[in-house]
């Protein structure tokens, strides 16, 4: 009986172990299989296929590299004479020596028109262009726009040249890939890549410039070269580096192609830039300005003053208006406004959408010729006299000093502001167009301005 009990106990224990093992290793494994199938039902991603892929720039580089040229600027200087050095040491003064500067340029037509920066060719006595195939040509200066730092050159060749195609710089977006093509440090045919870091950057005190900012490496010698999109089309002219060392530190700037194209067309057709103006002065709206002026509008350009006889005045724009769209483009600042107007000519029409007393108005404004309304020179803003002002003074000529930003003359602002300019260097001035014509032909000679102060005193101002 004892043996039978032992056998039964052993059998029972074996059954329990067997059942437990089955539960553990077979049913739980099935559960794990089911769970595993649920968590891995989606296919695993191929990491190599989803890794970040850099765009292929070979086509864009090949397309643009042959349109970019090397520009050599040769100017001649005279060494000063020094009688003491000449007597004791045999120093030879008064001799002429050549000074050479270099930069880049972009061919924009098959017959040899080339755009570059004004500072690349400034004060040049001779200009030499070297193509990407190492052929060299003498270049002729067609015209410049010093404010926007653009110059137009021309070379003569019997062959059709490769040229850059202008793209719409307004269509680019922050984050778009770009290539900078140029000749930094006299190294020919250099291509660097980056992205558009920002648009409508202003680095000047007068607020007329609107740069494309990029992180593509641009160094001395790149000035005047091409900034192109991923298709190899021209979206800007590389112009400057903001750096304490003068070399690339992570960002650089280019003049937008839309602005460049307008300047180039003006220089080809008229020999000088035709600048239209809207005829408003003011400031951009932010939260503080909105609160101070009790405005319920948080962005736009607040019109503080309207230029007399300008397109804005004729169209009905008034002080206190808030311009927030021009040609369907949003306006947040004067720079936004100016970047649109800078691509227009006098007599072009623009659609202005504004708020007046919280009511929306749409006006068509014909841009005025800048010289006909006002000009700026050496920190003086000059505008035409109205017929009533001429009658009150008993004259039929003269222009008025509207404002003074030149710090040297700020102390005399009470005497000079609203003074009437009668003559410049002996030339009788009838209007701002004549004043602009006289001032545009000045070099470094002394400037004499004859004027009548608001108190009726006649003065001669020497600049």
- Round to whole Å and give the CA distance between 428 and 433: 12
H helix or E strand, kind and range, residue 360: strand 359-366
295 three-class SS: coil
- Round to whole Å and give the CA distance between 159 and 144: 26
Looking up tokens 């017959």 gives 111
Looking up tokens 């108190």 gives 455
153 three-class SS: strand
Tokens matching residue 145: 């726009």
DSSP-assigned letters across all residues of 244-272: SSSS-SS-EEEEEHHHHHHHHHHHHHHSS
Active-site annotation, residues: 119, 149, 223
What is the 8-class DSSP label of residue 408?
G
Which residues, 6 or more positions from 158, have their beta carbon under 8 angstroms from its beta carbon?
none
Decide: 209 and 261 in contact? Cβ < 8 Å.
no
How many CB atoms within 10 Å of residue 62? 11
Which residues, 6 or more positions from 140, have their beta carbon under 8 angstroms from its beta carbon?
127, 153, 154, 155
- Round to whole Å and give the CA distance between 228 and 46: 34
- Round to whole Å and give the CA distance between 443 and 338: 28
Decide: 277 and 367 in contact? Cβ < 8 Å.
yes
């Amino acid at each position: 009986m004892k043996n039978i009990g032992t056998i039964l106990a052993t059998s029972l224990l074996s059954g329990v172990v067997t059942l437990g093992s089955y539960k553990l290793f077979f049913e739980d494994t099935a559960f794990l299989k089911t769970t595993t199938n649920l968590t891995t039902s989606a296919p695993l991603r191929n990491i190599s296929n989803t890794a970040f892929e850099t765009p292929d720039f070979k086509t864009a580089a090949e397309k643009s590299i042959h349109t970019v040229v090397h520009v050599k600027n040769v100017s001649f200087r005279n060494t000063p004479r020094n009688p003491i050095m000449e007597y004791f040491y045999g120093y030879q003064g008064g001799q002429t020596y050549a000074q050479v500067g270099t930069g880049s340029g972009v061919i924009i037509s098959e017959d040899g028109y080339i755009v570059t920066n004004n500072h690349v060719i400034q004060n040049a006595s001779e200009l030499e262009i070297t193509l990407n195939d190492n052929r060299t040509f003498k270049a002729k200066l067609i015209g410049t726009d010093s404010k926007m730092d653009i110059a137009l050159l021309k070379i003569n060749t019997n062959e059709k040249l490769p040229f850059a195609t202008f793209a719409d710089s307004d269509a680019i977006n922050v984050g778009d890939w770009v290539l900078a093509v140029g000749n930094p440090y006299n190294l020919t045919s250099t291509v660097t890549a980056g992205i558009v870091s920002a648009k409508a950057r202003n680095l000047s005190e007068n607020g007329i410039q609107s740069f494309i900012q990029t992180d593509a490496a641009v160094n001395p010698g790149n000035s005047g070269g091409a900034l192109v999109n991923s298709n190899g089309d021209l979206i800007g002219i590389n112009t400057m580096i903001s750096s304490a060392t003068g070399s690339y530190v992570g960002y650089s700037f280019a003049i937008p192609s839309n602005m460049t194209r307008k300047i180039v067309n003006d220089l080809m057709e008229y020999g000088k830039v035709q600048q239209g103006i809207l005829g408003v002065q003011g400031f951009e709206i932010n939260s503080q300005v909105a609160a101070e002026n009790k405005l319920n509008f948080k962005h736009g350009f607040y019109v503080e003053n309207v230029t007399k006889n300008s397109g804005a005045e004729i169209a009905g724009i008034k002080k206190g208006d808030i311009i927030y769209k021009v040609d369907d483009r949003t306006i947040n600042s004067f720079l936004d406004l100016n970047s649109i107007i800078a691509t227009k000519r006098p007599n072009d029409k623009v659609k202005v959408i504004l708020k007046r007393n919280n009511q929306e108005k749409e006006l068509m404004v014909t841009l005025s010729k800048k010289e006909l309304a006002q000009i700026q020179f050496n920190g003086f803003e000059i505008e035409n006299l109205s017929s009533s002002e001429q009658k009150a003074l008993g004259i039929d000529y003269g222009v008025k000093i509207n404002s003074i930003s030149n710090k040297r003359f700020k102390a005399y602002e009470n005497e000079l502001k609203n003074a009437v300019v009668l003559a410049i260097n002996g030339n009788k001035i009838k209007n701002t167009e004549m004043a602009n014509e006289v001032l545009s032909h000045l070099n470094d000679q002394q400037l004499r301005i004859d004027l009548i102060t608001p108190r009726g005193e006649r003065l001669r101002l020497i600049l």
